[in-house]
Structure 1
């Protein structure tokens, strides 16, 4: 046998082994039967979560059963845990999740971008379809993220026959009308970052389309280096922004900002007040201020301060206020009119932006940005309250809750 024949023989053997392995995995899942029950972390009231066991109903022809692998803890989860601002309790939280497909309804053939979906695939979910009564989505489908009835797994109330609506549990039932994506080529850690990555990708698109300058020479401030702020820095660097100033009061998060693409690190605690801080930013931007700023803190006073760091003709994108954090004072003349500032808001994302988000994460890794280093803590499901407390204490950056692994699950 010559070398070409040997190479062909190896290729054929590898393909046969792969097909046999996939067939074995699917037959194993099919033979094991539908799980009878599973655990879910139910937030029964603000500040109170219980791990409960629930029956797991059969899925319908247009549904998917997913075994949860992991789910990031979002700031929204923490707001819900602290005060239940959306009055969802009892509810199973968790929307930054991913898992493995266990069952596929007979009418489900492909994901939201046309990839075939099969047992064993790794998937993530995005926004559910809005109701037909939503006038915003009806007349402007590209703004469906602004619908009042926007629905996301992990922010859906429990149902009498289904408690698996969030990723802080063993299973999720993907219902009809959901947007979901097969992402087999990505690690579980990277998959847990797709949802927050969609937030920053949406903010970047909003900033790009507002008329302000964002190009290779732009000097951009990112105020706030929590998980979203750090991802904002990474997406700006991946996009090609070469002058990024990170502002935060936590030195370890500023150090992480440097690894993700920030060129200048500014700890606001080192300055006497906003005028002193603004002078520092001006010294880093040829005395003019930044071309653009992303406000990612969720602190109203920080939003007010950011205006002082932006040059005339610049812009600001507010990303950090998903819940009502209160009011702040700005000077319309000095902060907006005289500078002719372009001010825009960014609200979550649209489902069609998910592919943009996971391609961003893949590209970020390719250029050497350690985005998975954002995940600093991992907890099993039965320690979810400790995961919440670590987040509340702002220890580390991104906290992830892991469910039990399937015995034969592909990792």
Structure 2
């Protein structure tokens, strides 16, 4: 075999890089391709309300327990929009973005497997989950419900510090010690950007299943056909549920609901009040829905949905991740007289991620158009525009893509 000078130079560089040590003596693997890791990289820093600025920082060395990820893309979540508009979590300045995915380009010597034991290394595609503290009362007394950790961290909601690369809205991300992460090499970029919202939906359905009220012939109503509501729909469709009623006020989103398996769609804007809307739901379902998912952040919608559920039915509240205000219900008619079984759903557990990956594979297997949820893509320097598109509900899922 003939090897020219260019080949020799490339091989030597690769060998040297693979045994390179940083100034702390940490063995660090680097990219096993011809790409070069720059000394500096850009992030989209939320500097003040409704003001994202692209800033450039030196990429720090990683420790034995850290990884450097080259970001490939990240979905924009409603939580990002809430933080962008009002800073309800008091995080500013912050690099947002928690629905991200990318490629491992540096890896500390102590890391060789992902959270479920799959071997990982340079070049693998990865997504992150939460960072439970393991020390709060909830972590100690309910270890199987790590989503209720009082101090849980999540990339994209970590305040600015000396690492700088704390969110997926950037060119690179540093994964810290104690993190949870999963190898997802078999999935395309769009599917990977949908894993996090899919995990929210999977957790909601897992919570709903605890009521014992979901079965093949259940009449299931989903109120709110944004990304989460549509993803909940896809999850229950992959479970074999076919009697799905979608409620929303946007025609395009209701059309997407049909593509994901909704048998009936109801545009609430076509009804003069909640009583007329309730009559339409009963016309479709008979006595009401067997189970309902409330996936909006609108207090009036949260109040209305109780009247859509039949006596003995169930309800899962998914839509209120931030405080959007109070709603009024009638305890006698809405809860006691009906004996409704209600559950709340909060984010997701680490153990929901493997289930989510299998759900997405199953959805692809039955040709559900999951990736069509992503309707708009923006580069890093257009994230203010991307946020505006999201706030106007001009699409379904808006995403940042690092091209």
Partner of 2:227: 227
* Deviation by residue 1:144-170 (Cα, 9 ceiling, x = unmatched): 21122111000001112x100100000
Distance 2:119 2:384 in 1: 37
| Distance in 2 of aligned mates of 1:38 and 1:85 | 28
Partner of 2:23: none
In the other structure, the counterpart of 1:7 is: none
Structure 1 residues 273-282 or 289-298, which shifts more?
273-282
The match for 2:6 is: none
1:76 paired residue among 79, 85, 88: 79
Task: Judge conservation of contact 1:47–1:81 (CA < 8 Å) in 2.
Answer: yes
Question: Which residue of structure 1 aligns with residue 341 of structure 2?
Answer: 342
In 2, Cα distance between equivalents of 1:34 and 1:234:
38
Q: Secondary structure at the match of 1:378?
A: strand
Contact 1:101 1:120 in 2 (8 A): yes
Correspondence 1:274-285 to 2 at 5 A? 274-285=274-285
Aligned equivalent of 1:196: 197
Displacement of 1:210 in angstroms is 2.1
Q: The residue matched to 1:97 in structure 2 has which SS?
A: strand
Partner residue, 1:90: 93
The TM-score, its normalising length taken from structure 2, stands at 0.91
| RMSD, aligned CA | 1.5
Structure 2 distance, partners of 1:34, 1:259, is 42
Task: Report 1:161-310 matches (<5 A).
Answer: 162-211=163-212, 213-285=213-285, 287-310=286-309
Unpaired stretches in structure 2, ≥5 consecutive residues: 1-10, 19-29
Q: Contact 2:132 / 2:151 at 8 angstroms: preserved in 1? A: no
Give the Cα separation in 2 of the matches to 1:252 and 1:32.
41
The alpha carbon displacement at 1:236 in A equals 0.9
Following TM superposition, by how much is the alpha carbon of 1:32 offset from its aligned partner in structure 2, in angstroms? 6.2
Indicate conservation of the 8 Å contact 1:275/1:308, yes or no.
no
Give the Cα–Cα distance (whole angstroms) in 2 for the partners of residues 153 and 281 of structure 1.
40
What is the distance in 2 between the residues matched to 1:388 and 1:251?
A: 21
Give 2:319's aligned residue: 320
Q: Equivalents in 1 of 2:188, 2:260: separation in Å?
A: 19
Give the secondary-structure state (helix, strand or coil) at the position aligned to 2:305. Answer: helix
Q: Name 2:160's counterpart in structure 1.
A: 158
Q: Is the 8 A contact 1:233 1:262 kept in 2?
A: yes
Q: Distance in 1 between matches of 2:262 and 2:165?
A: 39
Q: CA deviation at 1:34?
A: 4.9
Kept in 2: contact 1:34–1:58 (CA 8 A): no
Deviation (angstroms), 1:390: 0.4
Q: CA deviation at 1:273?
A: 1.3
> What CA distance in whole angstroms lies between the structure 2 residues aligned with 1:270 and 1:93?
37
Deviation string for 1:235-275 (max 9, x for gaps)? 11011111000000001100000001111000011112111
SS in 2 for 1:276: helix
2:63 to 43, 60, 64: 60
Q: Deviations over 1:114-159 (max 9, x none)?
A: 1111100000000013142x00110111222112211100000111
Task: Give distance in 1, aligned partners of 2:36 and 2:207.
Answer: 46
State the 1:33 CA deviation. 6.1
Determine the C-alpha separation between the residues in 1 that align with 2:273 and 2:219.
Answer: 22
| Residue 129 of structure 2 is aligned to residue 126 of structure 1 | yes
Instruction: Give the alignment's TM-score, normalised by structure 1.
Output: 0.90
Specify the alignment match of 2:143 in structure 1.
141
Q: As a proportion of its length, which structure holds more helix?
A: 1
Task: From the superposition, tell whether residues 297 and 32 of structure 1 become closer, same or farther in structure 2 (CA, over 3 Å).
Answer: closer
Residues 132, 139 of structure 2: 8 Å contact kept: no
Aligned residues: 378
8 Å contact kept, 1:126–1:178: yes
